[in-house]
Structure 1
Amino acid sequence: MLDTDYPFDTDNRAYQRFLTLAGEHFEIVGWNNATGRPAMLTLIDISSRDAFSLALLDTAEDRQPHALLAATTDATLSLHGPLAGSATACDYAPHLAMHNADIAATTPAALHHPDTTTIDTSEWLTIPPDIAAAAHTQTPDTTSVGLVLLDRDRAQIVIVGPFPSPDDAQAWQPDTDGWPPVDRLTVALHPPTPKGD
């Protein structure tokens, strides 16, 4: 997701890691434009003094809201989030598994925002066919829920949410032009627990 408010985010994790790694091997000279925005870096080889410059155009952030979809050994689904980005959702998986021995599988899944009724083909996430065939849910035990649209035949899902209640989730209708019928599962969206717990 591009940061459109400010085209170059100096807190971008990849940029910060690049500066750390490059700083171990090069002298780095930063160039800013008149507004103070980083515009270019010159990397100078310490021993030869040869140099080259890189233009800094924009940054992309892995911050799209995600949930960690979990399936237990009997294919009961649960959602955990929202979490900022796919990497954060992946990082949460070991913590969740350590606290729930029944979890057999997890996958990060982008949350489709309920304000948008059109689901792009790229948003469908493929899951194992055996989980798709057996997936079910329990009555939500939280106030926040996600709506799992499950295409059992294609073993694909889309998760829409969050919603403040199961009724709100079931009332949401996507544009279904060209899509086969899907099962609609309302799944509790559990807030992530701190990793120290």
Structure 2
Amino acid sequence: MLNTPYPFDANNHAYQRFLTLTGEHFEVVRWDTTTGRPALLTLIDISSRDAFSVALLDTDEDPQPHALLAVTTDAALSLHGPIRGRAAAADYAPHLAMRDARVAATTPAALHHPDTPTIRPDEWLTVPPDIASAAHTPPGDTTSVGLVLLDRDRAQLAVVGPFPTSGDAQAWQSDTDGWPTIDRLTVALQPPAAESA
């Protein structure tokens, strides 16, 4: 069983967090296969020396690029990313809020790839109507931008990107006919600070 080719990424965030938490309460013995893949963990209670083992079969990650969409107290939008996965984007929110006191709200937003002209219904985010009506973008220079498609009437948005320039973002077109009128806001895509890695 230990040499079966289960996909396992030892850098998986959940696995690393599990090791950190269990290491605070147990002695942890890691058993590896001949290829170096972790296959089994034995957790030993420090005081009683009782133990049990957990088999490590596989890992799962959310590979879709996301950005953390932030709204300031005056309804200015900003994008922070790309960040791999929705959970990692959500985890970045406290770091951003600690650095910028103007941030009033955040939400992870999937980055729709510009090579695909069709935006799926599940890529649209519902936002509070007051934010949808007042949202705007501040001027800014950056090497990467995202295109926020904002339906103010339905209070929904989707994010497409990244693009190298604002002109590239504004030139992008969806193949979906019959959309209601939407605003196309070009927003600087700011790389996340180092503490989110």
TM-score w.r.t. the length of structure 2 is 0.75
By how many angstroms is 1:56 displaced? 1.2
Aligned position for 2:79: 79
Q: What percentage of aligned pairs have identical amino acids?
A: 71
Q: Superposition RMSD on alpha carbons, in Å?
A: 3.0
Q: 1:93 and 2:96 equivalent?
A: yes
C-alpha deviation, 1:61, in angstroms: 3.8
Q: How do 1:1-197 and structure 2 match up within 5 A? A: 7-45=7-45, 50-61=50-61, 64-84=64-84, 85-98=88-101, 101=102, 103-176=103-176, 180-192=180-192
* Secondary structure in structure 2 of the residue aligned to 1:105: strand
Residue in 2 aligned with 1:3? Answer: none
Q: Which runs of 5+ in 2 are unaligned?
A: 1-5
* Distance of aligned partners of 1:56 and 1:180 in 2 relative to their CA distance in 1, 3 Å threshold: farther
Q: What whole-Å deviation, never above 9, does each CA across 1:88-126 have from its counterpart, x for those lacking one?
A: 43133214423xx4x443333232222233323222222
Query: 1:67, 1:89 within 8 Å by CA — same for their partners in 2?
Result: no
Separation in 2, partners of 1:191, 1:49: 46
Deviations 1:153-196 (A, max 9, x none): 2212111111011121112123426854432211222344567x
Distance in 2 between the 1:26 and 1:108 partners? 34
User: Structure 1, residues 19-71: CA drift from partner, whole Å, max 9, x if none?
Assistant: 23323444433332332211222334456665433221222346643333233
Question: Unpaired runs of 5+ in structure 1?
Answer: 1-5
What is the deviation of 1:131? 0.7
